[in-house]
Amino acid sequence: MRKWRNVFFLGLVSFFTDISSEMVYPLIPLYLVSAFGATPAVVGVIEGIAESAASLLKVFSGYITDRFQKKKATAFAGYAAGIVYKLALLFAGSWAGILGARVIDRAGKGIRTAPRDVLVSESAGKDDLGKAFGLHKALDMSGAALGILATWFVLRNMGDGFDYKRMFALSVIPAALGLCMFFFVKQRKDPRPGKDREPFWKNIRKTDGQLRLYLLVVFLFTLGNSSNTFILLKAKSAGFDAVGVILLYFVFNITASVLAMPCGRLSDRIGRKKLLIPGYLIFSLCYLGFAFASGRGAMTAVFVLYGVYTALIVGAERAFVAEIAPPELKGTMLGLQSTVAGIALLPASVIAGLLWNAFGSAAPFAFGAGLSLAAALLLLFYMKPVR
């Protein structure tokens, strides 16, 4: 069907982009530590600033998407920033340079997320929203898994002679292929709204109370959901070498990829709430596992469970926001959800780094587990079933 063709090619955009991103992302904390002697607190500051500095772009990008209906062009610009990011990594000579590169990368994500999600939601019927977002996420995380596998293969064969910058340069190739996939993406022609449209902050006040509640829950949850760089550092501190850390991250991504579409389809049938609450509870268990797992087998199991959490959440939350938002504010609301999470990531990552330095590697994960449990309870008692 034509609508699934569009979702498929949008998924391929993310597939190739994530091959590129994940050839680089799991190397960043290792590169920061080995090349520049960065501490976990510095890593937390870098990730927090990078996420939060770009967070406002997400809601602004969503508003621009709704106002001017340039969904495809806006998404393309955001994905193109990924190539600039890789080039910036090549020329970075300090941890400050890595910070600048990460800001470029997160800014690109902030620009592309809302228009891409609107394109996905418009390509599926209301009864297929979870399935559409699940298909997109499955392709997205399949690319991530493939990128991680490529990094693992190179690390395994090069050992101590690993050239980080060579991998940064190679990662440009799949990023360029992802941009080429936009040629096959079709944008629905919608009439442009008139110039008298109200500013988006006035419209936000008119949104559904359940959506506002969910945005509050997202903020609370994200305060404890620090950057994935910390789970990579935790695996390294648990005794895994660089090759083992990359392989664990691959296990997480392939698990999420396999389960994303079935979980999205399940949310269409049983409702978003029935997946969001178990998702947050599983996240809490994962973070307790990261905090206290001691053996290699236990740590591997936690990474698998972390993939299950991701599959449960990603399709359901985007479908929930897309279906409850007013049609004329769909891009704005999808962007706002990402913005709320992005704003929370700065204190989340800084707090995680400080807790790690002050109390040990278990502390930030125990903190995150508690906030995730609180978020699940808020949804359980106050969120009305939607679908």
Q: Which CATH number covers residue 326?
A: 1.20.1250.20
* Lookup result for tokens 């959506």: 211
- Residue 190 belongs to a domain: no
Domain containing 222: what range?
Answer: 2-183+201-382
- Residue 194 belongs to a domain: no
pLDDT digits (tens, 9 = 90+) for 345-359: 778 878 888 898 889
- Residue 193 belongs to a domain: no
Query: Total domain count for the chain?
Result: 1
pLDDT digits (tens, 9 = 90+) for 145-200: 898 888 877 777 765 556 788 888 889 999 999 999 999 888 776 655 544 555 55
Please list the alpha-helical segments (H only) found in the chain. Answer: 2-22, 27-36, 40-68, 71-91, 95-122, 129-158, 164-170, 172-180, 200-204, 209-223, 229-237, 242-270, 273-292, 296-324, 330-359, 363-382
Identify the pLDDT of residue 363. Answer: 92
| Choice among 47-51, 92-96, 160-164, 365-369 with the minimum mean pLDDT | 160-164
Q: Residue 277 and residue 380: Cα distance in Å, rounded?
A: 7
- Residue 6 belongs to a domain: yes
- Residue 346 belongs to a domain: yes
- Residue 233 belongs to a domain: yes
pLDDT digits (tens, 9 = 90+) for 58-67: 667 776 777 7
pLDDT digits (tens, 9 = 90+) for 227-268: 787 888 888 878 887 778 888 888 898 898 889 888 888 888
Cβ–Cβ contacts within 10 Å for residue 359, how many?
12
Identify the pLDDT of residue 177. Answer: 95
- Residue 387 belongs to a domain: no
Identify the pLDDT of residue 347. Answer: 82
- Residue 330 belongs to a domain: yes
Q: What average pLDDT does this structure show over 294-318?
A: 88
